[in-house]
Chain A
Amino acid sequence: MYSRDQVLRIAAKDVEQITLLKDLEELEHLELDFWKGPTHPDFPTDVHVPFASLQAVKVFLESNNIQYSIMIEDLQSMVEEEKIQISRSRSTEQMRNTNSFDYASYHTLDEIYSWMDMLVSEQSNLVSKIHIGSTFENHPIYVLKFSTGGTKRPAIWIDTGIHSREWVTQASGIWMAKKLATDYGKDAIITSILNEMDIFIEIVTNPDGFYFTHTQNRMWRKTRSTNSGSSCVGVDPNRNWDVGFGGAGASSNPCSETYRGSHANSESEVKSIVDFVKSHGNFKAFISIHSYSQMLLYPYGYTKTPVADQQELHNLAKKATDALSTLYGTSYRYGNIIDTIYQSSGCTIDWTYNQGIKYSYTFELRDTGRYGFILPANQIIPTAQETWLAVKTIMEHTYNNPY
């Protein structure tokens, strides 16, 4: 049916060329199917061209000096491939429920927020959504609460996506939230934990940054707050916490990717969590998830002085990474931040540890640099699955070792 049809990736270089492509779109007799319509010179246009129209289209592009490449040389050979089903179905189907949601694909902010509402409505006995604050650009900041009752039970926190370009983390957060909701009542450990503790998951910890990675710059890391006196935007939310603030391990330059901000907690994305954690007062574990590098880290980042609980945290990290590797053989390094990766001041888990939350960990998920931040979507579920084993290990230890 698609034999010898091709999919072309077109790189329009300016608005005039975009206009030409829009004209092309109007020519119904060519029966073109735009997977990604012509919108802006910064974004590629992908179009499925039936074999009969190929020559006409290529002549059109070439005579107008519009650059293109052949993305798929023979569409028929791709028809069975999952990639087509995913990319077509998710753009045409409505999201019906959290069981039909495509966990093996990267989603937009709107899609994730819709998914959260669906999960809450499907399992309102277990899951609720809390609005903990607003971003610089006024996006709401939401946390999912998993609870079987009680008041301010000892709690576990998981956040993903504090650095917006680390897309496998938000995607893993979605998967883990769904897993948690599914496994209550089925998995012995999860059931025991949730019968006595609450679990909070913040999936999109940096919504402004995340939106920016979808619309403008896939490599954006920081928040999107403006900095007075500078044309550079954004603060590194993992250097903005009130611990070692101003010391080595963060930058004072607003243009830097590790800019600490004008003062600790200047970022509403960070302040919202600080206020929430302080007013809750009963968190026992705090897990902040990043990518990439395949590491499990405990405090401190700002100083070489070991934490008092170093031995226990080190042993637990080993146990967690051993568990992680049982699934796909993925190997992780582990240790304290400052020796394992670099000195960093003002980072999340240094602050949470100093608040008395002993089991404070940072993950760096897949991979080790082959794909880096742009991890293929087909690795989302394996990454989430193996990470879940490590997270469960930490949660179980927290549950078994009350303090």
Chain B
Amino acid sequence: MRGTLWIVLGLFPLVDGHPTLKTNQNSLETADAALNHQSGSLNSVLHLDDTEKAALEPTRVDPAFPMKELNTSHYPATRAARVAQHYLNYHHGSPSKWFMVHDIKKASSEDIPEVGTKYHVQFSVQEQATKEIVGNCTAEILFRQTEEQSAPEVNCTCDDLLKIETSDADHALYHHIKHQPEPMTGMDIPDSQGNIPKEMEPFWYLGGIGASFIMWQQSNESTLYNMVHVHSVKQLNSENDLLAFDYVVLLHDMVSQEIIHWHMQVAWNPTQGVKVTQCHLLPKGTMKQPSAEKHKI
């Protein structure tokens, strides 16, 4: 089966009514709809005017909006590709599957007057658990010019994405967690020395996938996000067949060099994938920073 997936448009929930997750006034889809895309259906509840539709259509060369070839070593291409990575992870990642951009092959951008800047990037990704490289991803990333932060809109296809088969691992993990007598907890992943206990790895991945949602939402042309630490994770009770976890994660923005703390709740099962059900930014100084190791003397 040819593993090509069309994933159209960014989708995100309004969360806690919290202003830090401001949404584009035109897009009010929920994370549920985002997950529907994984199974191939293309829902769109966006109502766009003609300019906006034009901005989101696959690229046509239009002399009125010249395309600028970008140096693949320079930061504009790096930042755009990172957004596509976050998007890809949120829609395809799992506790057994986490992608990072491997190599940017080609990049260009076009300024769309009164709309924003649209980037076109071709890149490969490496899946972190299997180390497999998925060669051919193409993404269009639109950064709208808005006064407040709005999530970039992403249109992304990857050949051979589905060849990375982790559903056995995901199902095994799901059942393992479901059958534990006590809800799991963890903190400081990794610890100061970079160690991660084997049984914590899936929860580190899951945190990374959940954080990808936040990082995608918070990205713009002046950011470059990574998750650098899981401060804490705690399994929550859930009545349905979704597992639920409460996380505090630390994100690093390379451009400002700031470390920011986000509190999020993440739901997961192997068939529905990962969903961030709640998240909010923690003010600087609220959480004690990741603790250093005391050496045993």
Chain A residues engaging chain B, CB cutoff 8 angstroms: 9, 11, 34-37, 39, 42-44, 67-73, 83, 87, 90-91, 105-106, 108, 213-221, 236, 255-258, 293, 331, 333-335, 339-342, 368-379
A36 x B293 contact (CB < 8 A)? yes
> Are A374's CB and B71's CB within 8 A?
no
Could you say which residues of chain A place their CB within 8 Å of the CB of B58? none
Q: Which residues of A have CB within 8 Å of B191? A: 44, 374
Write the B155-193 contact mask toward A (1 if CB under 8 angstroms, else 0): 000000000000000000000000000001111101111
- Mark B246-268 against chain A: 1 for CB-CB distance below 8 A, else 0: 00001010111111000000000
Nearest neighbor of A293 in chain B, beta-carbon distance? B254
Shortest CB-to-CB span from B11 to chain A, Å, is: 24
Question: Is there contact, CB below 8 Å, between B226 and A341?
Answer: no
Query: CB-CB contacts of B193-212 with A at 8 A, as 1s and 0s?
Result: 11111010000000000000
Q: Among B128, B194, B259, B296, point to the contact of A219 (Cβ < 8 A).
A: B259
Q: Give the chain A neighbours of B293 by CB distance below 8 A.
A: 36, 43, 214
Q: Given A43-B291, A67-B185, are A221 and B229 also a contact pair (CB < 8 Å)?
A: no
A68–B232 CA distance with the chains assembled, in angstroms:
12
Tally of contact residues, B, Cβ under 8 A: 46
How far is the CB of B85 from the nearest CB of chain A, in Å? 9
A369 engages B256 (CB within 8 Å): no
Which 5 pairs show the lowest CB-CB distances between chains A and B? A376-B194, A217-B289, A369-B226, A257-B257, A372-B228
> 14 A-B Cβ contacts within 8 A?
A37-B296, A42-B291, A218-B192, A218-B291, A255-B284, A257-B259, A258-B257, A293-B254, A339-B71, A371-B228, A372-B227, A372-B252, A374-B228, A375-B194
Q: A9-B187, A36-B296, A217-B290 are in contact. Are A371 and B103 (CB under 8 A)?
A: no
| Contact of B296 with A374 in the complex, beta carbons under 8 Å | no
Minimal Cβ-Cβ distance residue in B for A257: B257
Least CB distance, A155 to chain B, in whole angstroms: 30
Whether A218 lies near B103 (C-beta < 8 A) is: no
A371 and B190 contact, CB distance less than 8 A: yes
Among residues of B, the one whose C-beta sits closest to the C-beta of A372 is B228
Q: Which among A34, A37, A339, A376 is the interface contact of B195 at CB below 8 angstroms?
A: A376
Q: Is B100's CB within 8 Å of the partner chain A?
A: yes
Rounded to whole angstroms, the CA-CA distance of A342 and B295 in the bound complex is: 37
Interface membership of B292, Cβ < 8 A: yes
By the criterion CB–CB under 8 Å, are A218 and B256 in contact?
Answer: no
Q: Is the CB of B256 within 8 A of A71?
A: no
Point out the residues of chain A lying under 8 angstroms from B187, CB to CB: 9, 11, 44, 69
Q: What residues of chain B lie closer than 8 Å to A377, measured between beta carbons?
A: 193-195
In the complex where A72-B197, A331-B103 touch, is A218 in contact with B289 (Cβ < 8 A)? yes
Q: Beyond A369-B100, A377-B194, is A214–B255 a contact (Cβ under 8 Å)?
A: no
- Give the A-B pair count, Cβ closer than 8 A: 129
Complex CA–CA separation, A340 to B128 (angstroms)? 25
Q: How far is the CB of B286 from chain A (nearest CB, A)?
A: 14
Q: How far is the CA of A83 from the CA of B229 in the complex (A)?
A: 20
Residues on B with beta carbons closer than 8 Å to the beta carbon of A91: 295-297
**Beta-carbon contact of B73 and A374 below 8 Å:** no
Q: Which residues of A contact B254 (CB under 8 A)?
A: 293, 341-342
Is the CB–CB distance between A370 and B74 below 8 Å? no
Contact of A341 (CB < 8 Å), options: B75, B188, B193 = B75
Residues of B within 8 Å of A376, CB to CB, are 190, 193-196
Contacts of A340 in B (CB 8 A): 73-75
Give the residues in chain A near B290, CB-CB below 8 Å: 217-219, 374
Inter-chain CA distance A325–B226, complex, in Å, is 23
Contacts of B289 in A (CB 8 A): 216-220
A154 to B146, CA, bound (A): 53
Complex CA–CA separation, A338 to B274 (angstroms): 37
A397 smallest CB distance to B (angstroms): 21
Taking A368-B101, A377-B193 as known contacts, 20 extra A-B pairs with beta carbons closer than 8 A to each other, sorted by chain A number, are: A11-B185, A36-B294, A37-B294, A44-B187, A44-B291, A69-B185, A71-B197, A91-B297, A106-B192, A213-B292, A219-B250, A219-B290, A339-B74, A340-B73, A368-B100, A371-B228, A372-B226, A372-B228, A374-B229, A376-B194
Please tell me if B288 contacts chain A, counting CB pairs below 8 Å.
yes
Which residues does chain A contribute within 8 Å of B228, judged by CB atoms?
219, 371-374
- Which residues of chain B in 211-261 are interfacial with respect to chain A, using CB atoms and an 8 Å cutoff? 226-229, 250, 252, 254-259
What B residues does A83 contact at CB under 8 A? 195
Complex Cα gap A73–B198 (Å) = 10
A9 to B194 CA separation, bound complex (whole angstroms): 16
Q: How far is the CA of A9 from the CA of B190 in the complex (A)?
A: 13
For A371, give its contact among B101, B188, B194, B294 (CB under 8 Å): B194
Nearest-neighbour CB distance to chain B for A28, whole angstroms, equals 18
Across the interface, which residues of B come within 8 angstroms of A369, CB to CB? 100, 226
Whole-angstrom CA separation of A43 from B257 in the bound complex = 25
**What chain A residues lie within 8 Å of B71 (beta carbons)?**
335, 339
A51 to B172, CA, bound (A): 27
Point out the residues of chain A lying under 8 angstroms from B103, CB to CB: 331
CA distance A68 to B255 in the complex (A): 36
Residues of B within 8 A of A333 (CB): 73, 78
Instruction: Enumerate chain B residues within 8 angstroms of A331, measured Cβ to Cβ.
Output: 103
Report how far A342 CA is from B259 CA in the complex, Å: 17
Residue ID in chain B nearest A106 by CB atoms:
B193
Shortest beta-carbon distance, B204 to chain A, in Å?
10
B75 and A342 contacting across the interface, CB-CB below 8 Å = yes
The reply to whether A373 and B252 form a contact with Cβ atoms under 8 Å apart is yes
Q: How far is the CA of A68 from the CA of B185 in the complex (A)?
A: 8
- Nearest residue, chain B, Cβ from A239: B257
Residues of A within 8 A of B296 (CB): 34-37, 87, 91
